[in-house]
Every structure is written in C-alpha cells, then in structure tokens.
Structure 1
C-alpha cells in the first residue's frame, strides 16, 4: 500500500479541528512509517545488483513527497535524519546534484540547531552530511568547497565519542579517498596519491578489503596519468582481484576498462598475461577486447 502525496495535505486539513494529542499521534505514526520505508529503500539503492537499485529508484520516486514530508517532521522534532540519507542516495543516483546539495544544506543547517543534549547522537550524522555536501560540490566542480567540507568532516569525526573505532576509521578513510578525488580532478597528483595512500592504510589496518579496491583503482589512475605504468598495472590488478572476489561485476568492469586503456597506451604484453591469468582467460581474448572499438 502506498500513501499518496496528496494525503498529508488532506490529513492536515481534516485534522485542523482535532486536539493536539490526536494530531501529534498521527504525525508520529506518519514519521515512523516512512522511517521504516526509508531504511528498506536505502538497502535497495545501495545494492550491488542493478535491478535492485532500479527498484529502489522507482519506489522512492513514488514516495518522494511523503518521504520529504516525513523528513521535515524529523527535523522539527530533533529526530534521526535517516530519511535524508535515503533521499540523498536517490538524488545522487539520478545525478540530480544541485537538488541533492540544496537538500543537504537544509539538513546540515537544521542539525546545527539541534539541542546540545542531542549533539552526541547526531554528531556522526553531521559528519556524514558534510561528506555528502562535499560529494555534491565535487560533482558540481566546486572543488575548493568540496575540499573544505571533507577536511571539516575529518576533524569532526576525530572528536566524536558516540561511535565505534571501526565507524570512525571507516569514515575517515572514505573521506581521505574523496579528498584524493578532489586533488586528482585538479591534477594535483602528489596530493591525490598522498590522500589515497592514507585511505588505503586505514582500510588495510582494519581489514576492509572491499573498500581497498576502489582506492587501489584510483591509485592506478594517478600512476597511469603520471606515467608510472608498472605501479598502475599492479594497482589495477589488485583492485580487479578484490572486485572479482566479492563478485562485483560492475566495478570490476570499470577496472578492466582502465586496464584496457593502459594496454593501448603501453602495448605491454605482460599486462595481458597477468590480467588473463587473473580472469581465467587468454591474452589473445583480452587483446581483442581491449582493441576492438
């Protein structure tokens, strides 16, 4: 059953004459209903399966106005902003970065005004919101704003007390990864490499093997762009191996494409042999794949 977007307005009109307890009860039920849905939708939006992501996009599109109304109720009652993270993921997947940034700024400002008694519980939400603000700024090519927001998020996360060390370090590592992307876009390759290495070091320390793969892929791109071809090959092969291990065909295909571009650039037959051994295929098959328009 889907509550249509017109219903909240209808209910507000009908309940105008009701006592505050009844109105408050309905608002609370509406909010809790969409908090539950938001969690389910976000799981779909973050799925590695394309069909599940598409289902999540479809469901959020149908309920977007209701989810937004429920988020507003959460902000007004100093409650969790879990719904925001679902809406952000939906907008980001649809590449609606301007609207995602606008919504993120609204939520970030609201969180700043939560009572002091709530600050420990929402501190991590503030940090994650800063990260998403920076993600939007990066996509919109506002690189200095992105960098400033990422740096602020790192400093805030270091001071948080209501999260585990695993959460803290995972957040800091992913933020260093994103700082690497900012520097890479600006062709500040040494700065990019430094930030990616910081991220990779944390991922290795906390045995987050899957996250290592994306950072290794980016390090490979930096190495390729600075003509460190052997380093680029090693990074790409490590990333490809990890994505294969986790059966992530989408990101594995991205790394394979990068390997193909590296082969076209270097004509290194050792690249074909190493990649073929890893993938269980032949160098000739990869050569044809890489060189066929």
Structure 2
C-alpha cells in the first residue's frame, strides 16, 4: 500500500516527495526497498542514496557522488574542473532527461543543533541543497526525502505540499515482520500460547507496526515473556530493552539506535517543553487532544506541577510533531498518536523524579476518572450514534483506561468509572472471557484492601465487581460459579455499611434478577420466576420504573419457554411500554423480537411479521448485524409458513450471510436446513447457487447438504 501511494504521488502530483514519520516507523527501510524494487522492475535506472545519519552531505559531495556513478570515467573528467554551479547545471540536465532516483534520508539532522547526531549543514549549504532540488522539479528523475520533521525550510519550490505520512506498517505487513522476528529468535510458540499470546497481542498493539520498535522489543522475548516485557515497558524499567546479539548488528545497537532517535528529538526541545511533555508519560498509544485542557486542569492542581508552562502546549505539540515524537492519528485526527517507545522513554526519565511522577500519575488518574464516566454514558446511550461513538473511543483509549484503573487500585480510591467503561465496552464486543479476566484481576487486588476501606462507595464498587464477574461467568456458561458469585455479592451487600437502603435495595434487585438468569439458563423455570419476582418487588417498592422493564422482559422469556403465551405477551408488553416511555429504542428491539416469537408460535403471521420488522429496523439503525441475522431468520420462517417463497428466500439468505460473517456455524446449519426445506418446495436452482456463493462452496456440495432434509 505504501509503495503504490508513493508511486501515485510522485507521478500524479510532483516528482519530489517528502516521506515523514516518527522515529522507528520504517522510513529508511521503505526508502531502501523502494530504490531496490524500482531498480529491479526498471522503473528507474540508477539509485543514489544519501543518509544524513551517516554524514552531513553538502551539495558538492552529492554532485560528486552522482557524477562518478552516472557519467563514467570520461564524463567525470569533463565534470571535475567545472565550477560547482556549472557541475549542477550539467548533472541536472542529465537527471531531468533520464529516470533515476535520488534519496535524501534523515533530513532532520540538517537543521539540528546540540543533538545526539551532529550532521548539520550551515545556512548557505542548506540553500545550495534547496537550489539543486528545485532544479530537478518536473524532470524525469524522482526525488524521495525522508525525515521525522516537516522540513519547512526546504519545502518551497521543492516538495511543496507533497508529503506522505508514514505511520508504521499495515496489519498484514506488520504480521509478516512479527512472524519473521519471532521465528529468528525461536519464540514463535508465543503466538499459540493461550495466556502469553494475549499479552503478545497487547504488546503488538502498543508497538503499532513500527518496524524498529518491533525488532528491538520482540528481541527481548529470548529472555522475557510477553507479559514481563509489557509490564516493564509500562513501568519504564531500565533494563527492558536489552538482549543478546543478533547476527550482524547487535540488538543492543538497535536498542541504542531507537532510544537515540527519541533522545535526539526530545533533546531538541527546550527544558520547559521537555518537562511539559513528561506529562504524557502515563499514556499508551494515543492522547485525546480535545481533552487536553481538562487534563491540564488536573495537572495544575498538583503543587509540584503548577509552574509548568502549560500555555506552551500548542507549540510543544507542534515541535514534538516536527521531531517525530507524536503525530495526528491517521484514522481519527482528534487523537495524537505517540511514538511507541516514547512513553517508555519518559517513564524511565520520571523514575529519577518521584515527586513529578506521583503528581503526574495522580492527575492522569483523576482525568481518566472523568473520561471513563463520560465514555460509560456513551456506551449506555439510547442513541445509536452515541453508542457507536463510545465504542470507537474506548477502542482507542482502552490502554489508557486500564492504566488509570491500575493507578486507582494502587491508590485505593474509586475505580468505578474506568472499570465500567472497560467492562461495558467488552460487553459490546462480546469478549466475555476477556471481561472475566479483567474482573478477576481487579477483584484480586480489591480483596487485599483493609476491611474498613471496603465500606461506603468503595464497598458498593467491590460488590459491583463481584456482580460483574458473575455476569461473565453466566455468559460463558459457568452456571455453578455464577450462582456462587451472585450469592457472594448478596452477602457482601448485606454486611455493607454507610450506604442508604434504596441503594442497597437497588443493588440487591439487580443481583436477584441475575440469579433469575442463572436459573433460566439451566431451565429451572420455577426458581427463575421466583428470583425475577423478588427483583421486581424490590424495584416496585423503590419506584425504579425503568429497571422494572428488564425484569418484565425476562419473566416473559420464562413464560414463553413454558408455552404460556398469554402470560408471555403480557410481560413483554409491560416491558415494551416502559422502554418506549424512557425512549430506550435499543432495548425495544429485543422485546419486539420476542413478541414476534410469541405471535409466531400462535401462528399469528401478520402480527409476528410486524413485530419482527420493528425489531429489524432498530437493529439496522444501531448497526447490530448479528442481531439482524436472528430477526431475518425468523422473518424467513414466517414467510415460509405462508408459502411466500421468494420473500422467505430473501430473508433466509440475508440471515445465512450474516451468520457466516460471524462464523456462527450452529446458526448457519439451522438456516441451511430451513433453506433446504425451501428448496424442496420450490426446486429453485438459483437458491442453491446463492447458498454456494455465501458459503464459498460448490453447488454440488450445497445439494449434498440439502439432500437429507
């Protein structure tokens, strides 16, 4: 993708292009690859590479090197006695007429001052270099420039606004590189390890496809597990990036290189700016730029940080962007994306400044307590767009919320907002195993709190985590464990001090409701109904009308399972009235769907179809594709029962396509069986072809699947 985009920009916009990216994004690797590939495919004839990390190439040196390679011995003899301007004129004429590639890499060195790599050019040499590149514009030869910065001094008359932002490898390329690195070090087994594999995925997400960061950090897997490396990076441990030697260059050399890149950029900032940028140390991956004023308020409340030059944020961010330490996120510009190793670098620096570190971590925790609350509200919103926004934001902020949760647990303060944001997000993505692991890890730390700390607000949060764990256990069908956890939550709740009775009753009603779910899942109908009625009575007592709706809905499910159709419909209608009153459109969908099931079971086809269509419209609005599949399937059955063959085929194929997309083999099989019955009734060859296309198999295989029915 990078190769095609670079070619397109060079050929359609301007033959001079700046490839800009943070340290470690693979600019140099890409530039070398482009040169080799284009020469192999005869896109260019010769490639001339000048790396300013190696030396400060001035115009005369560039002209001399190009002349030696391009003109041959005879041509170089005519070239050598000429003045520098005459030499430029002679070479430019040749370069403009032929297709060659000129690469100038690591241009940030040219204007650097007091940096780790001293390969700068004086002003007059900068102007000479700019003159050479200007003369090549609109010629046949191509010019690629690589830098961490914007190189504004060079832009006019050369690359202008022709800039390609490099933001790490794409997923496929990164995965291939990771496989090669793991294989080289003999640690490919971590890909398949159930526990460490999950930590490896977190590590890869943090490294964001940056080639140098991947090589340096994954090289440590020889001596450390993914979990150990991840924990060390998060803490800023001194000895994280250190392993044995690779063939050729040592890993220590690569480690020094990546840290030197960051120190090179960081060292270019003023002392005040460096201190200000340390406030980003707790962040992982991204910073939500729009919330920076709110974060600043929290930082200013810390006495040790109060004198930092917060008014310089804009200029510091711009300079940090110029030097490749951060950049606008390519997908969501409201986020700033941090160079992956940069937070590690800053955490390491903070270890020698414990007062600063404690203050910054406190401000970060308080900031994400507020952000967590806002994100949880979005995730629980009754508006589809807000709910989707919440999911997107948490997907980017997951690691930052996790870090804030960790700080809150260490400080033994409220964990409610970051924990709920994370847990609710995992609900929306249906990652119950991951949610269960989150809850259990938090519970293990809460249980180490002194008893007196787990009263009042923290006590209710403790109960909430136990309740959350039970819900996850229920989802993964650990029914005995779920019931034990819910009973534990009730016992904790009974012994909890410093909360009002309405709150205690509300939490107890929620637990009784969930115990009803546990019994229902085990088809223990009398026990389920008893728990639901107990929950309902408490909710009615405390006038919690909205909360009653969910319990009415579940009572409807219990009645439906026992084929008590009038009772089921009555409960569902009560739930629906409340959901409509509270404008909870999302919850209405599930109740409409169940009302459709009740009508369908009583062969009330028009009513069933009407309910299903209402549910479907809401699922489509909320982009709930998996839920759409179940409703399409039921609409297909209703149409089939009425011998509306074409309509039935359309609905069932839509259901099949969605179930296949979600790799739901069980429901795929059920839908195929219903399509087989439809085929027996219609003998429509187009149906078998359509099923074959969805399942990506042959028509003959579909006919074999249809035959037993």
Contact residue 260 and residue 290 of structure 1 kept, 8 A = no
Paired position in structure 2 for 1:150? 486
Match of 1:99 among 431, 434, 441: 434
Contact residue 263 and residue 290 of structure 1 kept, 8 A = no
Q: Say if 2:595 is the partner of 1:248.
A: no
Q: Distance in 2 between matches of 1:11 and 1:37?
A: 23
Displacement, 1:128? Answer: 0.2
Contact residue 560 and residue 568 of structure 2 kept, 8 A = yes
Displacement, 1:253? Answer: 2.1
Q: Distance in 2 between matches of 1:172 and 1:116?
A: 21
Paired position in structure 2 for 1:133? 469
| Correspondence 1:86-235 to 2 at 5 A | 86-121=421-456, 122-235=458-571
Q: Which runs of 5+ in 1 are unaligned?
A: 280-287
Q: Choose 66-75 or 112-121, whichever is displaced more.
A: 112-121
Q: Distance in 2 between matches of 1:38 and 1:85?
A: 8
Displacement, 1:130? Answer: 0.5
2:395 is paired with a residue of what secondary structure? helix
Q: How many residues align?
A: 280
> Where has structure 1 moved over 6 Å in runs of 4 or more?
none
RMSD of equivalent CA atoms: 2.4
Q: Distance in 1 between matches of 2:636 and 2:556?
A: 20
Relative distance call for 1:38 and 1:8 in structure 2 (3 A) is: farther
Q: Distance in 2 between matches of 1:212 and 1:221?
A: 14
What do the CA deviations read for 1:171-213 (whole angstroms, capped 9, x no partner)? 1111111111111110001111001111111111111111111
Q: TM-score, normalised by structure 2?
A: 0.38
What do the CA deviations read for 1:221-255 (whole angstroms, capped 9, x no partner)? 11111122221121111112111212222222211
Displacement, 1:145? Answer: 0.7
Q: Say if 2:376 is the partner of 1:77.
A: no
Displacement, 1:9? Answer: 2.5
Contact residue 383 and residue 585 of structure 2 kept, 8 A = no
Contact residue 8 and residue 66 of structure 1 kept, 8 A = no
Q: Distance in 2 between matches of 1:114 and 1:180?
A: 31
Q: Which runs of 5+ in 2 are unaligned?
A: 1-288, 290-334, 615-634, 640-647, 649-709
Displacement, 1:131? Answer: 0.6
Q: Say if 2:328 is the partner of 1:16.
A: no
- The answer to which structure, 1 or 2, has the higher relative contact order (CA under 8 A, 6+ apart) is 1
Q: Distance in 1 between matches of 2:592 and 2:395?
A: 33
Displacement, 1:8? Answer: 4.2
Q: Distance in 2 between matches of 1:117 and 1:8?
A: 36
Q: Say if 2:369 is the partner of 1:35.
A: yes
Paired position in structure 2 for 1:282? none
2:598 is paired with a residue of what secondary structure? helix
More helix by share: 1
More strand by share: 2
Paired position in structure 1 for 2:392? 58
Displacement, 1:17? Answer: 2.3
